Amino acid sequence: MTMPLLRLFFTAISLVTADHIIFHDAAMSRDASNECVCHIEYEDGIFPTHVVIFLDEALMNFTTDTEHEEEKITAIHFRIVEFHDKLVNLTVTVKETTENGLKNETDYNRINDTITDLMKTSKDISAILNATDARLEILLNEVNNVSSTTWKLEKYDKHNVLATRREVTTLRKQLADCEEAGGNPNFGLPSAGLIRPAIGSCNNKTLLNVSKPLVVKLNWRGFSYKYGGWGKDFALKAKDKDKFWVAPLNTDERIMETYRTYQTYHDLMLYKHQDEKSLSKKSGLTLIYGNCGQGSGMILYNNSFYYNCYNSRNLCKQNLANNQIKREKVNNAAFNNQVSYKNIKWQDFDFAGDEKGLWVVHAAENSKGKLIIGKVHPKSLKILKTWTTTLDKSQVTNTFMICGVLYALKQVSPHRESIFYKYDTQTGKEEKLDIIMEKVSDTPQSVSYNPNDHKIYMYNDGYLITYDLLFNYQPLKTRRSVPSNEGQGALMLSSVGRTQFAVV
């Protein structure tokens, strides 16, 4: 008798905002070959992405409006001080006049002018106050509207997550029941199809596919800040692994002058409680950029921020705990936009953090622009070992590392990239592949893998985006008494984009 094989079908059918899972009503079924089968689909547009975009814009508007109102209030303050001074002077003059009498017409005119002036000032002030009141009321209404929208969003979100969890639990139970009914000798062990690849392990962690993109947010500086990077702490089991960072470059698309970190996803979503680091220094009237970053290859790794130092072939590292900056030169490395990625400026160096540690990707003056992978010592910033690939760095849009394997991207259309190449630093083997990654906009300025949640973080023309990963599943020999060819290709859903909202 052949044992029933457990299978989970995963069909993604959405465009950009795939974020809700629908489980088919039909009870767990068995197909012709006696397999337990259940279907999962992603449905488009359930999560109100448009509401998030509206909140983004409203928040941006508030910041501008509030600054505007503050300016007006400062102006009023000065006029009131002036009014007060004039009033004091008038009181003195009137007192003198009552004591000594009016001497002549000049005296009288002087007092008359002062009174007229005061009346005019008082009118101006009340007009400004009146206008400010009205404007403040509108602002207040808008704040109320936004907070109720935010509240709705959160409420929606919690329900969605809970519902999804309930569905997953039901599904697990159904699969277990089905497996048991088939007399599976592994009964009692977790269902094979639902095991996620272990965080930190590199056992057969071969990338097989990526999900649709999930647009998390626009960066905090706005639409015009098209270059930059974002993500979490990419060091395996980092102490603060839920901390987010967002680092938009200046609009010159070169200098990283400032970046922000957020302790929680909630804070990131609402742009709240940020810790902002400023890397430029003022000297008199000029700004000094020596400690600033250059290009979009930065990452946060083990609570330090790693980046290419401005105008140099140095690697820089800022310790978030004490703000201290350390730098180290990479001899012979191409720098200052000499060998960047394709259609991306100033990214001569690209950091990555994975299960195996800290990496930096670059090219060298004497490597004819070939992409070099360097293993970096996190403390000393020294490059411990390098691997030279056959790829032209300038022909690749971006790269990321998983378990010491470099994956490289190239553009196939404005909304699609292909992961077309990989290089294994363990074996020195290169391979071609073709995994399509959809984008919301043309250019992926920064693409990084996070070993702590198996997601890819992309900074896509100012939008912050994540992808879930599908790894190849290798059935364990002890798990099935009858090995099947089909098991080899079965997909495993490593994690679902929407679960991020559970952090709220």
| Tokens read off for 37 | 């089968």
203 binds ligand NAG (CB under 6 A): yes
Among 2, 29, 63, 116, binds ligand NAG (CB under 6 A): 116
Our CB check for ligand NAG shows the closer of 127 and 287 to be 127
Does the footprint of ligand NAG cover residue 104 (CB under 6 A)? yes
Beta bridge partners of 83: none
Give yes or no for residue 319 binding ligand NAG (CB under 6 A): no
**How many residues bind to ligand NAG according to rule CB under 6 A?**
29
Identify the DSSP state of 72.
H
Shortest CB 115 distance to ligand NAG, Å: 8
Q: Minimum distance between the CB of residue 458 and ligand NAG, rounded to whole angstroms?
A: 16
Query: Which DSSP state fits 198?
Result: P
The stretch near ligand NAG (CB under 6 A) out of 27-35, 103-111, 333-341, 402-410 is: 103-111
One residue of 16, 22, 43, 54 binding ligand NAG per CB under 6 A: 54
Strand partners, 286: 283
What is the footprint of ligand NAG within residues 207-246 (CB under 6 A)?
A: 209, 235-236
Contact between 137 and ligand NAG by CB under 6 A: the answer reads no
Site residues (CB under 6 A) for ligand NAG, limited to 416-445: 435
Least distance CB 269 / ligand NAG (angstroms): 16
Judged by CB under 6 A, which of 53, 134, 181, 195 binds ligand NAG? 134
Evaluated on CA atoms 472, 410, 250, 143, the torsion sign reads negative
Q: Which whole-number Å values give the CA distances from 453 to 161, 206, 234, 238, in the listed order?
A: 17, 15, 9, 12
What is the smallest separation between the CB atom of 289 and ligand NAG, expressed in angstroms?
A: 29
* Nearest distance in Å: CB 474, ligand NAG: 5
CB 243 within 8 A of CB 232: yes
* Upper half-sphere CA count for residue 360 (Cβ side, 13 Å): 33
57-66: long-range pairs with CB below 8 Å, 24+: 58/142, 58/145, 58/146, 58/149, 59/146, 59/270, 59/271, 60/222, 61/142, 62/139, 62/142, 62/143, 62/146, 65/135, 65/139, 66/139
H or E stretch at 31: none
Q: Residue 214 pairs with which residues in a beta bridge?
A: 466
Q: Is residue 86 close enough to count as binding ligand NAG by CB under 6 A?
A: yes
Among 130, 380, 413, 426, binds ligand NAG (CB under 6 A): 130
Largest CA distance in the chain: 125
- Interface pick for ligand NAG out of 34, 91, 112, 251 (rule CB under 6 A): 112
Least distance CB 238 / ligand NAG (angstroms): 7
Q: Is 395 in the site for ligand NAG (CB under 6 A)?
A: no
Site string for ligand NAG, 459-498 (x = CB under 6 A): ---------------x------------------------
Which of residues 130 and 343 has its CB atom nearest to ligand NAG in the complex?
130
In whole angstroms, give the CA distance from residue 219 to residue 127: 38
The Cα–Cα gap between 450 and 373 comes to: 18
Among 29, 61, 251, 319, binds ligand NAG (CB under 6 A): 61
Give the DSSP H or E segment for 282.
strand 281-283
Print the binding letters for residues 363-382 with ligand NAG: x by CB under 6 A, - otherwise: ---------------x----
Nearer to ligand NAG, 70 or 82 (CB): 82
Cβ proximity of 415 and 402 under 8 Å: no
| Dihedral sign (CA 159, 165, 166, 167) | positive
| Site for ligand NAG, rule CB under 6 A | 12, 54, 57-58, 61, 82, 85-86, 89, 103-104, 106-107, 112, 116, 126-127, 130, 134, 145, 203-204, 209, 235-236, 302, 378, 435, 474
